[in-house]
Structure 1
């Protein structure tokens, strides 16, 4: 048994992980790395469950060509041959690649080098376009470089932290916990949350502004104008280190108006708004932390610059505890940008319009003798890329470690484009994704526990992600696959790497190549060149730039007021606020918001492999305000449907006052592998920010209606020997959601047409006939179970899911070697005699349910600490603490009544 230091593969926090590898070669446990500067030992519930997501089951293990398994030799040969044929027939720009923030920097580097440098196509983009492109464009316009100025320590040293469009408690839980602890240590520290929804992040907020979606730029323009009116501008900093303040102020004054006018435009309380303005203007050490709620907009870049303007105007940058801080969504979104993973980049943070960049990269890669050489200009950004495929302009697409059939807006259009594309190559580790049916060539890739390389987190910190286990079957690392194809295409000498350390070394050397002055290219890790394999393997976390001037890395940028612009001055930009392009109408009157949830990640190909991560939000859902629910005739936990111009979304309604009136929220995670018509991207139009190309995923327009089924049912089916080949027959229902459990799969089902004979239906669905059943003719209810050879094969309850018992007992029966007589008698009840239902899981770490928590509160455990002492909830990652506090608040009257009653008895 030994431990390996690696990095978590989920969000952009980039937490260090200590992984324990057992003697049998499996990963037996993970814990936070106490030495890693991102998390200092903390892990969220997803990171804590990493070892539960591994195993060969559900993995791609052999290459496939045209649906047939083939050898790697055949797969590589066919891939190279077809790419070369299409290039010869239609030109180099007929081929494209679509990459992912899940790739390691070394994977990204060789992919960018192959496509732009040697295939001569600019059409290589990444799914980071969907989450970070506006933040990147905003930084580049203001600072001259895609450079996050802050670090995580700034969140702890700030006097004021402003969260904008970020549910940090769920999406970046470790950073949220760091701010929470810092706030407890410093009572003078303030936190402001600006978000249309009341989220769990509001638990630590001193001030909450429930902003109208899309009005962020109005709010920050108003702040800039207010600072000027109150003489709160740092005129010395502006004169010495910036330009453009007069135009920015003019635009701000024109669009913002008075406090009352800004408050009305943002639909917030004027007094609260002025409180924010006063706090921001009065403190020097201010961090504004912003994420997808700002970026995913048709004016996302302008919103970012409106925020940056306020920091520059107040001199709140380049200091401890100060700066505009864009928090990254993916583990290596920044690493991908470093090597040129965006369509408008070349490599090493150089753009096509960077003077001399194209010539520099050509000479470094020795591509001068190629015809054609490096492309002359940027390629298609993500949405544009798939439009070009639909037009027939792009003939070949290689997708790596991402799922555009789910994540891109207007999913039906994307799927139609993929269907039309003559050659779709997919490098993937999961055996079942919505993308694979469109693939002509499937190349099995390694996953987190096997990949070896580097990632860069949101604070510019480069960390090692170390391989611990061998790839299953014939899976290979992405960088190896890319290099093997490159060799087959005739570029062997340029891609003759034997280890990722060699790729990293080349990347580091390119970052410093002819980079004589610090103002030329800010991204410079030339100090990490020449490490060798041993030095690379021993690399500890370090923040770029890393060069001769900063051999130990750089904690924060722009401390001297010098920026990466030609004159060294930062730019304030005039911002004219624009509302969402996806307009509300009589047909689609509700504003749609999309986002992540606490225990899931992207399309759940990894997180759904850990059954306990499915318990917090088991089904796709729609958060809706009580008034909107009542108007639509929808009750809490009933099924509902959202309709948009581009598609539908079916899910279970969650009626909540935390949702603004006239708006709904849906999660992004569910795919056709886990539910029917629960793809949030089906509701989003192909509208982009004109500067960044980032889609407007936060501002859909939808209509809400009930989905009134004639029946609902819960079906549990054993993992082995029961599931039919292909698509199960019960997926023909009008609604279904698949929920992985340990040893079985749970299916929530509903149908619009009444079932007159459930036994005939079960015979068509399942090979094992019911061994036990109990039918309620009056209500149409039924409970039945299939048992063969003393093993539970399936279990069914016809009725709404709120009639379900706690499923832990049934789950255990699917894992029994045999069902004894005692268990057999309890199967239809679904629980032990007298067992209490623990309710929906709130604490995923310790699997503590809502019913148990409420019961403890009513019996006197009236604090988070008391609940933790009794039930252990909230004592590990802390992600559930905001929900525990909400339950405490809701149950406070009941707890008081219980205590009052006890006093009367005494």
Structure 2
């Protein structure tokens, strides 16, 4: 793609499942700026800190730009021939289940579709699973058990219409900030709206909560079965809805009544008065939405948790109605798209069931496939266990980093290292997974590839390219197609562009459907390249008007021909929608089409919600209550007395392959940490900012201690993002046992028995460096980007030759002048190296965590230091009289620090809004507003003393 003039492209954010619209403006010189799309119905112009920093992550630093075989550069033909021939030979010698694909919610729907088609329909195995198994498989299983289909009933609009929002296992303020801000804005308009947070930690989401239930790990089943029993006891049921549209209520209510209120309190760790207040609020509030996320899903009882929540909504008829329903929010940009195309090992494309012979036959006929896998394949944890024991001998990993993100991560890494043939398609040349690949295939990145994604409310949006594809990188769908051709399946994998793949995907959704399946986007089965380019965001279902698009038994023609009648929204309508002249979704207004006779037809208008009047996708069209008996699960022991909970932080994403490139996103939390309650810290002899060992039966990490009362006593929280690329020993998923939910196969990443110990460091260090060091000889280290280089935290068990250690970090061969300060008796050492007027590195060492202003220090890498006297401030580690120390960054969007906020409070800003008006902090994504309020309250308390 040649850039010859400034232009702005509508695309979609590649982070979480909110699916925010993005406007990417590319200048004639190639400079890119990103802002929220005010017309996109998911975010209406808002972006979180990660989305706002997207332009900082699109450079080519570290990119994989050409195919490699055993580390040797090669061309695409040799690489693709080797992949195809090795997979084909492995299948011939060991059977089709000896190969596997492990894919990702980072893939676009078109990529996902062809990968699933190749594995399940042409190789004939279901050994394709996705990293989405790690985040939302329990929701899928719960939906299918209750509804007969993987259907999310509601829409984001319900969050604004509800009178009560129950957030369960969801730190919405940090993990889905745009949805959090939609709720916060709605609450400002309607102060009577209530919010309940159910979470072991008092996260920043608690800032808008009227009630925080600090539930015990995995206490959710007991909480919601107890709620169902309470609803029955207090006649708070919708018996008309239960009778007309559900089955199994009696058994579910009987099972839920196994624990009385005291028993529920014991199982949840909550007080009986707390339970009654929550239960009575739920019972009295008709317009209730229960939003749940990884705290529910990532559990060995995750599917039961989901169904316990759904049971309560079915029992009260609070489903599919404005402001009412259970709502699963997904963690990845295209987790939903993967579900739609059958990216999970136990599903078929278009929400069909792999166990159903009629569904298999339908998909096989549609694809004209030689076979379709007859049984579910290996789910993620099982898949890597099969790699380890040799059952899987050829593995293709696409757009994900399982060496860091899978439970039992060290065992997963060992399995990949031992696998006879590993292919990795990725964007970066160096990740903890890519380093073990025999074949490395360079994939196009966000901003370079075209396709579609589906967000948590079933809204399909386009990701559009606005940058040229660098080097020899290619789209993932193209790579899969080319391998399929070389395996002998050219006729079925000759897609000239993603538009044809999307049209095929849409056609399959409608094929022999006629309302029998929830997922139907048949209105787009005839989309051509022009229509696809102009596609506006729409929610499914979006069936073709009138009769089913594909008559029974009628197959797509071979080659590039499409069947008639092609019903398609045309570019003119898309443009009108973008201009606000039509609703965004074609189902919310008039849609133009081109039926055979050329006449315009209005399609049937369907609600953006499911199930208000029943119509479930079970054989009797009734929802199924699931009988769930609450249990109390304990995994701790005297050797491992704490519960480890893993999760996300505000400004980083997955394994930092994208966010790790942004200096702005590394300012807020620059190193891995463990949140520990003060009582536990005191018990284990741990001080704030100490380095601690967190260990389980499966491994150990070294992280910084963050002592905070926001953590539940008896628990410790460690984020999942840090890898061997950014830290010495912080791959926290190496600590997580491969325990999974029996129904969904989703790992239990939030309830792991652990212990913490103080790491006995003799020296702590902090450094800022213009260049990334080639090696770091330290027991603990954590590296993060800053504006003009890198920042580095250190801890060591034994002393070093400190001048030599400094030289190794600065680069032993680098020229320049070094200033040094040594206090041998006190154990303090400081070094600063200058090349001309430029600071190239500084190192501070002390027997305790180093007291240096990090935000001020890293700014010195981009400052001029011609004044030799001013260089002494660098060695001192603190700003001179005319310099400003903004303090630890609180607002990443505008780079506002804690000291600046505190100073503004001293100057009279006594509200979050006043701070925003003065410093802009909290006025973009808003995810820092809770922290700003904490600083304001702390200053008030200090002033009152």
Q: Shorter-chain TM-score: which interval?
A: over 0.9
Q: Counterparts of 2:632 and 2:722 in 1: how far apart (Å)?
A: 28
Match of 1:216 in 2: 220
Aligned with 1:700 (options 745, 752, 764): 752
Distance 1:408 1:873, change over 3 A: same
Conserved? CA contact 1:224–1:310, under 8 Å? yes
Consecutive unaligned residues in structure 1, runs of 5 or more = 898-906
Q: Report the number of matched residues.
A: 879
The corresponding residue for 1:310 is 312
Structure 1: how far apart are the matches of 2:91 and 2:263? 57
Q: In 1, are the aligned partners of 2:854 and 2:888 still within 8 Å (CA)?
A: no
- Matching of residue 633 in structure 1 with residue 685 in structure 2: yes
Instruction: Specify which of 174, 183, 198 is matched with residue 179 of structure 1.
Output: 183
1:830 Cα shift? 4.4
Residue 676 (structure 1) aligns with:
728
Aligned to 1:649: 701
- SS for the counterpart of 1:828 is helix
SS in 1 for 2:768: strand
3-state secondary structure, aligned to 2:488: coil
Aligned-residue offset at 1:579: 4.1
- Measured in 2, the distance between the counterparts of 1:653 and 1:237 equals 51
Deviations 1:407-464 (A, max 9, x none): 1111111011111110110000012210012100000101111111000000000000
Displacement of 1:807? 4.1
Which of 300-309 and 77-86 deviates more? 77-86
Superposition deviation, residue 172 in structure 1: 0.3
Query: Could you give the per-residue CA deviations for residues 515-567 of structure 1, whole angstroms, max 9, x where no partner exists?
Result: 12x1x211111111112111111111111110136546641111321101111
Change in 2 beyond 3 A, CA 1:365/1:351: same
Could you say what secondary structure the match of 2:25 adopts? strand
In 2: Cα distance, 1:820 partner to 1:350 partner: 71
TM-aligned CA deviation for residue 269 of structure 1: 2.2
Give, in whole Å, the separation in 1 of the partners of 2:866 and 2:171.
45
Q: 1:19 to 1:554 in 2, by over 3 A?
A: farther
Q: 1:100-119 to 2 correspondence within 5 Å? A: 100-119=104-123
Does structure 2 conserve the Cα–Cα contact (< 8 Å) formed by 1:858 and 1:894? no
Please name the residue that 1:226 is paired with: 230
Determine the C-alpha separation between the residues in 2 that align with 1:487 and 1:672: 37
Does 2:781 align with 1:736?
A: yes
Q: C-alpha distance in 1, partners of 2:293/2:780? A: 33
Tell me what 2:537 maps to: 541
Partner Cα separation in structure 2 for residue 894 and residue 22 of structure 1: 49
1:135 is the counterpart of 2:139: yes
Cα deviation per residue 1:613-669 (whole Å; 9 max; x = unaligned)? 111111100000001000111011111111100000110001111111111111010
In 1, the alpha carbon distance for the partners of 2:874 and 2:190 equals 54
Cα distance in 1 for partners of 2:445, 2:897 equals 32
Query: Aligned pair 1:778/2:825, yes or no?
Result: yes
Determine the structure 1 residue equivalent to 2:591: none
Q: CA deviation at 1:814?
A: 3.0
Tell me how far apart the structure 1 counterparts of residues 807 and 38 of structure 2 sit (CA, whole Å): 55
Q: Distance in 1 between matches of 2:682 and 2:907?
A: 34
Q: Residue 94 in 1 paired to residue 87 in 2?
A: no
**C-alpha distance in 1 between matches for 2:265 and 2:633:** 18
Corresponding position of 2:332: 330
Q: Pairwise CA RMSD of aligned residues?
A: 1.6
| Mean CA deviation greater in 18-27 or 668-677 | 18-27
Which of 658, 663, 683 is 1:611 aligned to?
663
* 2:601 is the counterpart of 1:596: no
Secondary structure class of the residue paired with 2:832: strand
Checking the alignment, whether the CA contact within 8 Å between 2:355 and 2:374 is kept in structure 1 is no
CA pair 481-580 structure 1, distance change in 2 beyond 3 A = farther
1:194-246 residue CA offsets vs partner (Å, 9 max, x unmatched): 11111111111111111111110111111111111111111111000000000
Answer whether contact 2:330 2:336 (CA < 8 A) is retained: yes
- C-alpha change, 1:853 and 1:817, in structure 2 (3 Å) is closer
Instruction: Look up the match of 1:875.
Output: 923
CA contact (8 A) 1:87 1:93 kept: yes
| 3-state SS of paired residue (1:489) | helix
SS in 2 for 1:593: strand
The verdict on how the C-alpha distance between 1:379 and 1:314 changes in structure 2, with shifts beyond 3 A counting, is: same
Deviates further, 828-837 or 884-893:
828-837
Contact (CA 8 Å) 1:32, 1:42: kept in 2 or not? yes
Are the counterparts in 1 of residues 828 and 847 from structure 2 also a CA contact under 8 Å? no
Distance in 1 of aligned mates of 2:687 and 2:773: 33
Output aligned runs, 1:44-83, within 5 Å.
44-83=48-87
Distance 2:152 2:427 in 1: 31
3-state DSSP of counterpart to 1:356? helix
Cα contact 2:855–2:887 (8 A) shared by 1: no
Deviations 1:300-334 (A, max 9, x none): 00010000000000000111000010111110000
Say which is worse superposed, 740-749 or 647-656, in terms of deviation: 740-749
| Aligned residue in 2 for 1:524 | 520
CA distance in 2, matches of 1:43, 1:761: 42
* Corresponding position of 2:300: 298
In the alignment, the residues of structure 2 paired with residue 895 and residue 18 of structure 1 have an alpha-carbon distance, to the nearest angstrom, of 44
Assess if the C-alpha contact under 8 Å between 1:625 and 1:659 holds in 2. yes
Determine if contact 1:418/1:424 at 8 Å carries over to the other structure.
yes
**What is the Cα deviation at residue 832 of structure 1?**
4.5
Residues 801 and 548 of structure 1, relative CA distance in 2, 3 Å threshold: farther
Structure 1 residue corresponding to 2:14, chosen from 5, 9, 15: 9
| 1:289 aligned onto 2:336 | no
Match of 1:429 among 419, 427, 430: 427
Q: TM-score scaled by structure 2? A: 0.91
Cα offset for 1:275? 1.4
Q: In structure 2, what is the Cα distance between the partners aligned to 1:428 and 1:800? A: 42
> Which residue does the alignment assign to 2:560?
none
Is the 8 Å Cα contact of residues 401 and 432 (structure 2) preserved in structure 1? yes
Which residue of the partner structure matches residue 3 of structure 2?
none
Residues in 2 aligned to 1:135 and 1:290: alpha-carbon distance in whole angstroms: 9
Distance 1:125 1:204 in 2: 37
Question: Kindly tell me: are residues 154 and 715 of structure 1, through their superposed partners in 2, closer, same or farther at Cα, counting changes over 3 Å?
Answer: same
| Whole-angstrom CA distance in 2 between matches of 1:803 and 1:661 | 28
> Alpha-carbon deviations, 1:828-868, whole Å to 9, x = none?
23454212432211111111111222233234322112222
Moved more, 270-279 or 388-397: 270-279
- Any idea what SS the aligned residue of 1:561 has? coil
Specify the SS of the correspondent of 2:908. Answer: coil
Q: Give, in angstroms, the shift of residue 577 of structure 1.
A: 2.5
* Residue number in structure 2 paired with 1:837: 885
**Following the alignment from structure 1 to structure 2, what is the Cα–Cα distance between the partners of residues 361 and 133?**
22
SS class of match (1:222)? helix
Distance 1:70 1:355 in 2: 43
For structure 2, the 5+ residue unaligned runs are: 1-5, 546-586, 588-602
Mapped contact 2:174–2:927 kept (Cα < 8 A): yes
Q: Is the 8 A contact 2:101 2:395 kept in 1?
A: yes
Structure 2 partner of 1:353: 355
C-alpha contact (below 8 Å) 1:100/1:401 kept by paired residues: yes
Give 3-state SS (helix, strand or coil) of 1:660's partner: coil
Q: Aligned-pair distance for 1:119?
A: 1.3
Q: CA deviation at 1:691?
A: 0.3
Corresponding residue of 2:575: none
1:494 matches 2:546: no
Q: Does the Cα contact within 8 Å between 2:524 and 2:544 map onto a contact in 1?
A: no
Answering whether residue 378 of structure 2 is matched by residue 380 of structure 1, we say: yes
Q: Secondary structure at the match of 1:546?
A: coil
From 851, 861, 864, give the equivalent of 2:899.
851
Cα deviation, residue 598, structure 1: 0.6
1:419 to 412, 417, 442: 417
The question of whether the paired residues in 1 share the 8 Å contact of 2:396 and 2:422 is answered with yes
Contact 2:154 2:457 in 1 (8 A): yes
Counterpart in the other structure of 2:241 = 237
